[in-house]
Homo-oligomer: A and B are copies of this chain.
Amino acid sequence: MPVPVVPHSEVDVLIIGAGPAGLMCANALANAKVNVRVIDKRAARVAAGQADGLSPRTIEVFQSYGIAERLLKESVQVHQAAFYNPSPSGGIELTSRTQDVVAPSARYPFEVYSMKPLGVEVEWSTLPASIEICKDEHVLMDPASHPVRVVLQKLDAPEGQLQEEIVHAKYVVGADGAHSWVRKQFDITMDGEQSDFIWGVMDMVPDTDFPDVRNKCLMHSNNGSILLVPREQDRLRVYVQLENKDIIDPATGRVDKDRMGPDEMLEVARKSFSPYKISPTTGFLWWTLYIIGQRVASQFSVKNRVLIVGDACHTHSPKAGKCLKSGPSLSIALVVRGWADLSLLSTYESERRKFALDLIVFDKMYSTLFSGKPLSQENSHGVAPEHFLKIFKQFGGFTSGIGVHYEPSIATLDKNQELASGLVIGERFPPYKFIRAADAWPFEIQDLLPADFRFKLLVFTGDFSDPLQNARVESMVATMQKPDSFLNRYATSSKGAENSRFDIITISKGRKEGFNFLQFPTLLRSHWSKVFIDDIDVTNSFGGKGYSYYGVGHEGAIVAVRPDGYVGAIAPLDHVEDLDAYFTSFMTAAV
């Protein structure tokens, strides 16, 4: 009998794990038109329990993929947080309510909670059996090579059929969760520790006289803490702090799930809720137990060919919020297209590991405060409500994902920040509305910065009717059109706009009533839709202060925005060479 031949295949990127982090990566790659496969050993997506709360910055990222509208329509928005604390008369009482998201520049000033998948096709019931990276350095340095070999097994193949496939990938992304198989194959350790705080979680449709089940609610009671998160279809997710003694098996010192079920959790929760009552109307829809731990992987990538993302590289409590990012996908997209050097992938670890370390420091502090006993006569070292509220507000920028700041690397040029003080190099480009010059249609500028594979060059021309500024713009255009300018060196215009690496958007000072966008050199208006003015809208309701909000002066500036929406570089109009230097540091010439 002939031995069946194991099929081989090639792919640009193989993503292992179809949780939120893996799907987010897959979305980003699909959007950048990169060939990608997503596998998951589970038979189907789990309906609950996964970290599907999304921060304001994550909603902006969804918007940059063009799928925020659907997300917003299908999910629950949380706008307000309520704080409850022990009442002098026993039980708990409302201390205050405040905006859930304290991040003034957030375009979406709320969190969303969604249980729906994100629309990428997943190969379920598919297990990675082995993974190997080629050891030949020449192969590894060749961007066209497929140096990662992964053996896949189909768990649901019909009896007697071939169950294996060998995939040769340019890149593998390990998005396989806190117990990551990929991470273990390369002996990457997790640094950090577990806390002593044990929590239970349960989903229910509540019958209650408690008025804050549709806000995020943070409750400190003398019986332990509670966190409430409203969900779709009138559901409520209840996080309940548990006593270790109720749940640890004294013989082994480990969590014993048999000691605690949802009925017992509900009993604990009810004591904290007093004087309010709460019951599930239709039973418990889902529940689990977890120990809070803050840990970060010692490395995020192996030879820039295998990269780990999400819970596989950092774990923290669900209360620190969840900021899903596109991971290394946009760098991968640029390298796969042959536009950027392999070294660009190193920025993934340098940018993200620093952020992950900051996140777990914060989470440790915040979890300790939240799981701590409230201040009381018996416990004078307890957590004061004012202190907790202050920390909640103070770290709003951090927990919302809006305030993420990447350290300098080849993907950011640490120079000329003073030309646009509100556009922080290494931070995401903040939203603002500008008026399209040709038709006075108001646009949110973030909608002009989709997460495709292009760098956006925002040319702040200043006032073009000022002869001095006019001359500077004309001279800048002349410089950019020289054969050795980055625009020409890295141009791929012969293949049409679809393949262009740059998208030039012009933002002028001016008033819509008399403006003529045809006055600009054609480089700055490749289409009539590319010119905007910093003016108030036709209803006199918004806009008109963009230059000042972004800290751009009358002398203008050019701002390079990365495909992931982060500010990459800033240059003066009369020193475009700074952009040459920026792009030369990681871009490869057109062939």
Interface residues of A (CB under 8 A from B): 69, 77-80, 94, 96-100, 109-110, 209, 211, 213-215, 230, 234, 438-442, 512-514, 516-518, 528, 537-539
**Set B440, B514, B517: member contacting A79, Cβ < 8 A:** B440
- Nearest-neighbour CB distance to chain B for A540, whole angstroms, equals 9
B residues near A538, Cβ cutoff 8 Å = 79-80, 98-100, 109-110
B residues near A109, Cβ cutoff 8 Å = 538-539
**Chain A residues touching B, majority SS:** loop
- Nearest-neighbour CB distance to chain B for A399, whole angstroms, equals 16
User: Is the CB–CB distance between A230 and B439 below 8 Å?
Assistant: yes
| Residues A438 and B214 in contact in the complex (CB < 8 Å), given A94-B514, A518-B209 | yes
B residues near A442, Cβ cutoff 8 Å = 79
**Set B77, B98, B211: member contacting A441, Cβ < 8 A:** B77
* 8 additional A-B residue pairs with CB within 8 Å, beyond A97-B513, A214-B439, A215-B438: A77-B439, A77-B441, A96-B513, A100-B538, A211-B438, A211-B517, A214-B438, A230-B439
**Set B97, B215, B441, B512: member contacting A97, Cβ < 8 A:** B512
Would you list 23 pairs from A and B whose C-beta atoms are within 8 A, ordered by A residue?
A77-B439, A79-B439, A79-B441, A79-B442, A79-B538, A80-B440, A80-B512, A94-B514, A96-B513, A97-B440, A99-B538, A110-B441, A110-B538, A211-B438, A211-B516, A211-B518, A213-B438, A213-B528, A214-B438, A214-B439, A214-B528, A215-B439, A234-B528
- Nearest-neighbour CB distance to chain B for A79, whole angstroms, equals 4
B residues near A440, Cβ cutoff 8 Å = 79-80, 97, 215
B residues near A96, Cβ cutoff 8 Å = 513
Could you say how many copies of this chain the assembly holds?
Answer: 2
Please name the 4 residue pairs, one residue from A and one from B, whose CB atoms are nearest each other, closest first: A80-B440, A214-B439, A99-B538, A214-B438
Residue of B nearest to A210 (CB): B518
- Nearest-neighbour CB distance to chain B for A554, whole angstroms, equals 24
- Nearest-neighbour CB distance to chain B for A368, whole angstroms, equals 27
B residues near A215, Cβ cutoff 8 Å = 438-440
B residues near A98, Cβ cutoff 8 Å = 513, 538
- Nearest-neighbour CB distance to chain B for A112, whole angstroms, equals 11
**Set B211, B214, B539: member contacting A99, Cβ < 8 A:** B539
